[in-house]
Amino acid sequence: HMDISLYEQQVEELNRKLTFQRSRYLKEEYEHYRITDMQYSVLSYIQQHPCTTIGSVAKALHTDAGNMSALCKKLEHSGYLIRKKREQDERIVELCTSQSGALCVQTISRKIQQHYEEQWKQYNYKDKEIIVKGLEKLNQFLDAIMRKENMR
């Protein structure tokens, strides 16, 4: 049976590669819109959950609110994000994508879809199942680690 540290190296390496791969094949789009992979994830999440809060986005993307706040300010300066105070409660700041933010998400997600469609055709049902199940397992695994961390 495989040594734990070997598994650990493989999981970490794969995780790094996955993140790197996405930012690599979207390099042109990211450069064109002058955003990072993480900023795209933020915009994409806000696009799917309009009028969300910094706290919600931070939680969904596994980062702290301070980090997220700075990231959102940057996106607002770039004109991709609109931050407005909630009418019922001035303390709560709501986030929405601007028109150019929405266009950015739309363009990049279409590009992702294209890549997937072309590639997906080359795999049979069984392989597709293995890919999805494997990623789900990896996500559960990393999620369990995160939960333990948060309990400390």
What's the pLDDT tens digit per position in 20-74? 887 788 999 999 999 999 999 999 999 999 999 999 999 898 888 999 999 999 9
3-state class (DSSP) for residue 88 = coil
Phi-psi category of residue 36: left, alpha or beta, with phi > 0 → left and psi -120 to 50 → alpha: beta
pLDDT reading at 7 higher than 90: no
Q: How far apart (Å, rounded) are the C-alpha atoms in residues 112 and 43?
A: 15
Task: Give Cα 33 to chain centroid, integer Å.
Answer: 16
pLDDT reading at 1 higher than 70: no
3-state class (DSSP) for residue 123 = coil
Q: What is the DSSP letter of 85?
A: E
Residue-level pLDDT at 75: 97
End-to-end CA distance of the chain: 31
What's the pLDDT tens digit per position in 69-106? 999 999 999 999 999 988 888 888 899 999 999 999 99
Split at pLDDT 50, 70, 90, the class of 2 is low
